Amino acid sequence: MRLLPKDSEEGWVPYAWLVYLAFFLAYPVLAGGWRTWALTIVCISAFLPLYFWGYWLDGKKVLIPMAGIAAIGMLTAKWNPGSSVFFVYAAAFVGEIGEPSAGLPYLGAIIALAGGEAWLLGLSVNFWIPAILFAALIGGVDMHAAQKRRMNRRLRMANEEIEHLAKVAERERIARDLHDLLGHTLSVIILKSELASKLAEKDPSRAATEIREVERISREALAEVRQAVKGYRSEGLASEMKRARDTLTTAGIQVEASAEPVPLAPAQESVLVLALREAVTNVVRHAQARTCRIRFGRGPSCCELEIADDGRGGASTEGTGLTGMRERVETLGGAIVRDSERGTRILIRLPLPEAA
């Protein structure tokens, strides 16, 4: 049977505080007599369970062992001046009641009990000075220490919550990145595989070239998946625009692309790369477009990436890819405008590094 909770923050210190029972034992040692010793043993036997029980309780439940310990002090004060230690032990638990404002009235009640009994019974200063002075001192110290422990527990809980949220955010990031990376890459692989299948009889040499492209893209996809798990690092927006142009051309879509040199932070460039990839994937998969325009340049205090096609458009709801794109952009203080009345036009605005 454990005397203290397994996760007790006090450690072995509660055992050390029992040394103050020596003041209560001093009287029977000096006075002697079997009756005095019998009463002393009975009182200590009643005190110890209450004392250790108090470490298992918090809130107002701890008032029960506190009251029991204070009662032992009141019952033994007449014949043993060392019984003042019981008022001190009772005061040592006031911090566990709650905030200091909640424990202070109970500390005052313990001090009042000790002082009132000393006055009514005419007890010596050997009783009431230690009872009042040390009860006030130990009670105040315990309230401060208990409040500090509560704050540390809240801090640990907050840190655990932050760690949990960080893990959730990282899982969501990996899910979004994998969706964008694999969605785009698999679309290209399907396009090139279909093209190779059509060319297998008409132009075997061209078909073999397309199959080698499929192999290269597959290897790149594997590397990108590994990068996404570790933390996405793009090859740059210029490289992604070239890849987008090749993908659209393979799908039989005419491409108009233009880009201005605009300084970007690494995080902004990564977000724009993934946004361009997702938008191009949607054009290839769903738009049924003949032309696609990609433009990147500087706007008023922001940079702009525009992807517009002349496809079927429509007011379709946002899928996982577009939702993830919007979350990334808004995290960096940007915004996305989507227009699907005539084809689909996506305009992404991000604040320039100096403006951000």
CA nearest neighbour of 1 among 56, 64, 47, 40? 56
Average pLDDT of span 89-99: 91
Question: Is the pLDDT assigned to residue 7 strictly greater than 80?
Answer: no
The Cβ of residue 235 has, within 10 Å, a number of other Cβ atoms equal to: 14
Q: Mean pLDDT score of the chain, rounded to an integer?
A: 84
pLDDT for 293: 93
3-state secondary structure at position 293: strand
Please, where are the H alpha helices in 203-265? 204-230, 237-250
3-state secondary structure at position 313: coil
Q: Are 77 and 127 in contact (CB under 8 A)?
A: yes
Q: How does residue 165 score in pLDDT terms, banded at 50, 70 and 90? A: confident
Q: What is the per-residue pLDDT across 256-289, written as a single tens digit (0 to 9) for each?
A: 999 988 888 888 888 888 889 888 888 888 888 8
The Cβ of residue 275 has, within 10 Å, a number of other Cβ atoms equal to: 27
The Cβ of residue 189 has, within 10 Å, a number of other Cβ atoms equal to: 17
CATH tag, 235-356: 3.30.565.10
d(CA 114, CA 81): 12
